[in-house]
Chain A
Amino acid sequence: MAPLVPYLGILLKGALVTLGLAALSLVFASVIGVVIGMVATSRSASARAFAKLYVETIRSVPLLVQLFFVYYALPLLANVSPSPYHAATLALSVYGGAYMVEAVRSGILSVGTDQWMAARSLGIRYRVMMLYIVAPQALRVTIPAAMGIFIDMLKGASVTSIIGFVELMQTAVNIRNTIFALSPIAAAAVLYFVMCFSLSRVGAGLERVLRYEDR
């Protein structure tokens, strides 16, 4: 382990880069999730079909393939050349977004039609109903699921090393190539575990806070 010690600082920095990438992508994924999730529960069948197409397409193609597509195919198709960081953020956001749509959709559907009927019978329209009645109840289902998605995105961020983005995994590989030992990879594993396990605990805590049945 001794040869690893001088490199612990940059490993930690790599972990922070991973966390930052996943967090920023989570923000975009959440926006996608809320917008397309509402489309996915709308009354229009064609709008729902569009949402389903997005979700099923993204979920059925590996993140790695999507990453290649964004980084190598986008310059050819759309004449834009994203940096590795931008490509990683875009791919991870679109990928996480598809799962987030499902989390938001199941959250909205968990609020029964009896609530919609009660709201309408009081003269409460869609926007107010979504904001004050559906969203607070949907969050109980959506937030814990979103934490799981965040964890997946954080682990998925390791794939972005393939297009030359230096995050935790690529940092560990670089150190390994310098000191010729497996210890940097083991250290990366520990850092991944610490981050993911903590997030999972936070998720469980949020789940408890969001319960109102026994208030």
Chain B
Amino acid sequence: MAEPILSVEGLVKSYGTHQVLQGISFAVQTQEVLVIIGLSGSGKSTLLRCINGLEDFSAGRIVVDGIAVDPHRASVWAVRQKVGMIFQHFNLFPHLTARQNIELAPRRVLGLPLAECHARADALLARVGLAQFADKYPGRLSGGQQQRVAIARALAMQPRLMLFDEPTSALDPETVGEVLNTMKELAASGMTMIVVTHELGFAREVGDRILFMDGGVIVEEGAPEVILSRPQNPRTRQFIQAVL
């Protein structure tokens, strides 16, 4: 097997005496779609934030594309350029139009010429089906549209790995589908993805592998049909019955 794009070994994260992550280990291969499921508070979001150095961790090791993640070292910026992140609440910049949201990082981080940033932004907006919304401010877009702009914004940095932190949890039911479709298209194009979600249908259809987390540990992992249809662990079974 090739060198994994991401490897996490013995990751521990504690707030005071509370251990949010209690020794997490897994690896992700290029072009793999890994879905992480679990109750809220099981440490899924914290895990994602540790991967791109948004949060410090107490012990263990994370390596992204050959770079060890350490939020206190300058190398974390190289990691962040390789890793795109999608947030539950989109986190678009409200004072910038959709196009400006997408252009900002390529322009100010990569220093690309404005024309190139423009072209890149417009191509990405077209890809997520929002070409006609380029000059709209986030406040004028629906939740689903905002999340698709956020995906385009992350893609503009041409990441090797995309992290999705409950991308559809804050959406109205009628706009969940358009975001999931965008993510499906992304997976089909070969993007390596880690998706934290409660959308088990998406997990089954798009996921290559599912991790079930509970209480800061990985309880069970395996192929979607195994985890979703024949879970071995009683806690996994309980969770899947509750969500379905």
Chain A residues with Cβ below 8 Å from B133 are none
Distance (whole angstroms) from the CB of A85 to the closest CB of chain B:
40
Inter-chain CA distance A213–B87, complex, in Å, is 20
**Option from A115, A121, A213 in Cβ contact (under 8 Å) with B83:** A121
Chain B residues with Cβ below 8 Å from A128 are 108-109
Asked if B108 contacts A132 (CB within 8 A), the reply is yes
Say yes or no for A120: interface residue by CB 8 A criterion: yes
Query: A123 and B105 in contact (CB under 8 A), knowing A117-B54, A118-B87, A212-B139?
Result: yes
Of chain B, the residue at the smallest CB distance from A125 is: B77
Asked if A117 contacts B139 (CB within 8 A), the reply is no
Asked if A117 contacts B140 (CB within 8 A), the reply is no
Say yes or no for B121: interface residue by CB 8 A criterion: no
Distance (whole angstroms) from the CB of B121 to the closest CB of chain A:
13
Chain A residues with Cβ below 8 Å from B104 are 122, 124, 132-133
Chain B residues with Cβ below 8 Å from A215 are 137, 139-140
Query: A118 and B91 in contact (CB under 8 A), knowing A123-B157, A212-B139, A215-B140?
Result: yes
**Option from A121, A123, A213 in Cβ contact (under 8 Å) with B94:** A213
Distance (whole angstroms) from the CB of B123 to the closest CB of chain A:
18
Asked if A121 contacts B95 (CB within 8 A), the reply is no
Asked if A137 contacts B109 (CB within 8 A), the reply is no
Say yes or no for A82: interface residue by CB 8 A criterion: no
Asked if A121 contacts B80 (CB within 8 A), the reply is yes
Asked if A212 contacts B80 (CB within 8 A), the reply is no
Asked if A115 contacts B93 (CB within 8 A), the reply is yes
Query: A122 and B94 in contact (CB under 8 A), knowing A212-B137, A215-B137?
Result: no
Inter-chain CA distance A118–B90, complex, in Å, is 9
Indicate with 1 or 0, residue by residue over A196-212, a CB within 8 angstroms of chain B CB atoms: 00000000000000001
Count contacts on A: residues with CB < 8 A to the other chain: 19
Query: A214 and B108 in contact (CB under 8 A), knowing A121-B83, A122-B157?
Result: no
Asked if B109 contacts A124 (CB within 8 A), the reply is yes
Of chain A, the residue at the smallest CB distance from B53 is: A120
Indicate with 1 or 0, residue by residue over A96-129, a CB within 8 angstroms of chain B CB atoms: 0000000000000000001101101111110010
Asked if B80 contacts A136 (CB within 8 A), the reply is no
Asked if B105 contacts A122 (CB within 8 A), the reply is yes
Asked if A114 contacts B54 (CB within 8 A), the reply is no
Say yes or no for B31: interface residue by CB 8 A criterion: no
Asked if A212 contacts B95 (CB within 8 A), the reply is yes
Inter-chain CA distance A129–B89, complex, in Å, is 19
Inter-chain CA distance A214–B153, complex, in Å, is 22
Indicate with 1 or 0, residue by residue over B85-114, a CB within 8 angstroms of chain A CB atoms: 101010111110000000011001100000
Indicate with 1 or 0, residue by residue over A113-157, a CB within 8 angstroms of chain B CB atoms: 011011011111100100011001100000000000000000000
Given A114-B87, A118-B91, A122-B157, 19 extra CB contacts under 8 A: A114-B91, A115-B93, A117-B54, A118-B85, A120-B53, A121-B52, A121-B80, A121-B154, A122-B153, A122-B154, A124-B105, A124-B108, A133-B93, A136-B95, A137-B93, A137-B95, A212-B137, A215-B137, A215-B140
8 A–B pairs (Cβ distance < 8 Å), ordered by A: A117-B85, A118-B92, A121-B54, A123-B77, A124-B105, A132-B104, A212-B95, A213-B139
Across the A-B interface, give the 10 residue pairs with the lowest CB-CB distance, nearest first.
Answer: A118-B91, A121-B85, A122-B105, A123-B81, A123-B80, A114-B91, A128-B108, A215-B137, A136-B95, A123-B109
